[in-house]
């Protein structure tokens, strides 16, 4: 029998940095003790689980049919299974996690044939034949997924098996659950820590003779949840994908407690009730996820199933303040903007600051390119060029290190105002400033009926002329048509007109939001270069005097938080509350929708901006663009 190509757990633990060596050595000792055979002591190994857990999610019968033939397809890549092989140097980490996590058991269960049952039993047997100390158990998240999958599909593949198989399975459950208890919480972070806890919980409730598993779960739960979520329920990674994965894990844990008839922990219920509305807010009108920081669209029906399992109410989060996203909705239109800095320690965070996605009804128009675990694509999709945002050739707004983490994180500011259904959003970041590229500012306006979207892009002051491109990636279902008035964006439901005062070109693009590489198109605006005094506020707001804007910036600067955030809602009163401070203001005049397409942004509420740059001869760029619904 071939042994797994992955590293020995102890070897993996010994590879830690020197300051962590003692802790890692202690973990390795605990792991070695945990993997002792429970049959060798006085503890009794049960013949079967005390209760039957049920896997909540539907499988894919076609994927199950491939597995029966020893074939897999993951992230669009087909591979042949080899008996006993669970790792290989050329396999992506995501594929190894999937294979060793045994979540594909639900695909065989969905197929339902006797051949599928036999294949499931055979593959589980191959894993259990590996000596415990040679199994790849150093990642408790993968172990947790495997244990939950075994127990969730137990009735399908194990209930009718012979006594020896079931005894081996129960022994493996005990040893591997001990490995999670030994390695947590130091060995894993992010949403996958919830996967580890789920496995510990699953074994704990089906083996009441081993109460240490449930006790360990309850001791770890509160601290892990506190590390995962902001107060508003958004995941700390700022990724819609991680938000989805964490909500799914919470739903599974709640279901396990319900099946076991145990009281559901208050902190677990509270986390699910806060996180689910945020996940709902991160979906477009088609019910699928927005593409930021490593996320995929995901299936809308599956997303709805997860949400319904996690939370009984169908509430959409009214604010995404802690998440760093700004959500604007008017009529059928929805815009989600990335209005905060990425998380530095995340290996999936993208350099998409100030990018946005825009949809109308169930049709996506402007998107980001998505994400992939395929070699070559993973890193390329993290850069600004793969987002609907400014790209400056030769410059990067942050640094992606060799280990995938980020450095030189820019400062990002945002200010959002609403008035009678219309939205104004001002954002900026200084990521290019350290390279002499100046500050990038983006202003967005969404009309009160959702029929107009307008933008103003400002980049500067720059130390020297620098080419700057504004990219708008289009969903593959959108077709383009050039007209004398501008570009017509045709969807199955509507037609929109795109205009700009900059040079407009159309280029090829790619879309990876649905797990495969799809060809698409992108609109690219090239900035017109001009040399002018560095009056940043005048460039940002040509319809208002610089003196007025500077005065407003000074009045409001004390009300901004550390991130430069200012949220304003103007219902027509004589004062507004900006982050808790009452400030007198004059309500803006109602901004009527124009009768003809335009790129001009209507008068907006006075928002705080960054201080004006010193007056000097500098190169600045300002671009205006507009997207207008012309046929519905």
- pLDDT tens-digit map of 178-197: 999 999 988 888 999 999 99
> In which band, very low, low, confident or very high, does the pLDDT at 533 lie, cut at 50, 70 and 90?
very low
Cβ 555 vs Cβ 582: under 8 Å: no
**CA 568, CA 415: separation in Å to the nearest integer?**
8
pLDDT digits (tens, 9 = 90+) for 74-128: 888 899 998 889 999 989 889 999 999 999 999 999 999 999 999 999 999 999 9
Residues 334-370 have pLDDT tens digits of 999 999 999 988 888 999 999 999 999 999 999 999 9
Q: Report, in this order, helix, strand and coil percent for the chain, each rounded to 5.
A: 35, 25, 45
Pairing of strands 77-80, 71-74: antiparallel
CA-CA distance, 239 to 254, in Å (whole number)? 23
User: In the prediction, which pLDDT does 348 show?
Assistant: 85
pLDDT, residue 605, reads 59
Helix, strand counts (H, E) of the chain: 17, 24
Q: Tell me the pLDDT band of 373, cut-offs 50, 70 and 90.
A: confident
Please report the sign of the dihedral spanned by the C-alpha atoms of residue 131, residue 134, residue 135, residue 139: positive
Give kind and range of the element (H or E) at residue 427: strand 422-429
- Work out the mean pLDDT of the chain and round it to a whole number: 83
pLDDT of residue 261: 95
Alpha carbons within 13 A on the beta-carbon side of 146: 28
Write down all domains in the chain, each with its CATH number in brackets.
9-228 (no CATH), 243-323 (no CATH), 325-631 (2.70.98)
Give the C-alpha separation, 375 to 92, whole Å.
8
192-206 vs 212-228: helix crossing angle, rounded to 10:
160
Q: Give 393-434 pLDDT, tens digit per residue.
A: 889 998 888 888 889 999 999 999 999 999 999 999 999 988
Rounded mean pLDDT, 507-536: 78
Provide the token pair at 153.
């599909």
Query: In the structure, what pLDDT confidence band is assigned to residue 578 with cuts at 50, 70 and 90?
Result: very low
Of all helices (H) and strands (E), which one includes residue 378? Answer: helix 377-380
Residue 279 has pLDDT above 50, yes or no: yes
What is the pLDDT averaged over residues 550-559?
Answer: 34
């Amino acid at each position: 029998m071939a042994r797994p190509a992955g590293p020995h757990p102890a070897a993996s633990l010994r590879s830690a940095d020197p300051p962590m060596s003692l802790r890692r050595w202690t973990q390795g000792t605990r792991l070695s003790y945990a993997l002792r055979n429970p049959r060798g002591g006085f503890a009794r190994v049960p013949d079967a689980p005390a209760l039957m857990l049920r896997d909540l999610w539907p499988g894919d019968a076609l994927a199950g049919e491939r597995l029966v033939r020893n074939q897999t397809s993951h992230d669009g890549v087909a591979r042949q299974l080899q008996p006993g092989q669970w790792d290989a140097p050329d396999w992506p980490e995501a594929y190894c996690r999937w294979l060793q996590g045994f979540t594909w058991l639900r695909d065989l269960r969905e197929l339902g044939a006797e051949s599928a049952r036999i294949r499931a039993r055979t593959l589980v047997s191959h894993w259990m034949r590996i000596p415990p100390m040679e199994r790849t158990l150093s990642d408790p998240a993968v172990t947790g997924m495997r244990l939950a999958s075994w127990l969730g599909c137990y009735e399908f593949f194990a209930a009718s098996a012979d006594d020896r198989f079931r005894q081996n399975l129960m022994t493996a459950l005990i040893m591997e659950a001990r490995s999670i208890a030994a390695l947590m919480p130091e060995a894993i972070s992010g949403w996958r820590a919830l996967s580890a806890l789920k496995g510990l919980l699953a074994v704990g409730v089906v083996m009441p003779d081993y109460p240490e598993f449930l006790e360990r779960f309850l001791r770890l739960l509160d601290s892990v949840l506190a590390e995962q979520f902001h107060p508003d329920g958004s995941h700390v990674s700022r990724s819609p994908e991680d938000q989805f994965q964490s909500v799914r894990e919470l739903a599974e844990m709640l279901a396990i407690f319900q099946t076991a008839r145990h009281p559901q922990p208050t902190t677990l219920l509270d986390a699910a009730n806060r996180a689910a509305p945020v996940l709902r807010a991160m979906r477009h009108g088609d019910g699928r996820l927005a593409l930021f920081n490593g996320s995929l669209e995901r299936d809308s029906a599956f997303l709805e199933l997860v949400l319904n399992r996690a939370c009984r109410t169908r509430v959409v989060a009214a604010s995404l303040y802690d998440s760093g996203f700004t959500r604007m909705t008017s009529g059928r239109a929805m815009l989600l903007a990335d209005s905060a800095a990425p998380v530095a320690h995340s290996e999936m965070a993208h350099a998409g600051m100030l990018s946005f996605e825009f949809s109308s009804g169930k049709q996506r128009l402007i998107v980001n390119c998505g994400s992939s675990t395929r070699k070559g694509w993973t890193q390329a999709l993290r850069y600004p060029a793969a987002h609907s945002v400014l790209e400056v050739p030769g410059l990067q707004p942050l640094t992606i290190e060799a280990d995938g983490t980020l450095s030189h994180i820019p400062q990002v500011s945002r200010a959002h105002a609403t008035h009678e259904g219309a939205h104004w959003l001002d954002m900026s970041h200084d990521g290019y400033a350290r390279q002499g590229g100046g500050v990038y500012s983006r202003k967005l306006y969404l009309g009160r009926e959702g029929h107009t979207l307008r933008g103003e892009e400002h980049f500067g002051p720059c130390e020297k002329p620098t080419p700057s491109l504004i990219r708008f990636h289009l969903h593959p279902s959108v077709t383009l048509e050039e007209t004398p008035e501008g570009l017509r964006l045709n969807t199955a439901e509507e037609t929109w007109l795109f205009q700009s005062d900059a040079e407009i070109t159309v280029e090829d693009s790619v879309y990876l939001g649905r797990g495969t590489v799809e060809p698409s198109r992108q609109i690219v605006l090239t900035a017109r270069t001009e040399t002018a005094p560095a009056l940043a506020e005048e460039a940002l707001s040509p319809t208002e005097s610089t003196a007025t804007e500077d005065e407003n910036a000074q009045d409001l600067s004390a009300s901004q938080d550390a991130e430069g955030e200012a949220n304003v809602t103007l219902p027509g009163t004589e004062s507004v509350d900006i982050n808790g401070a009452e400030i007198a203001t004059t309500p803006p005049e109602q901004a009527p929708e124009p009768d003809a397409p335009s790129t001009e942004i209507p008068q907006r509420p006075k928002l705080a901006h960054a201080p004006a740059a010193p007056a000097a001869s500098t190169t600045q760029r300002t671009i205006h663009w507009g997207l207008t619904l012309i046929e519905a």
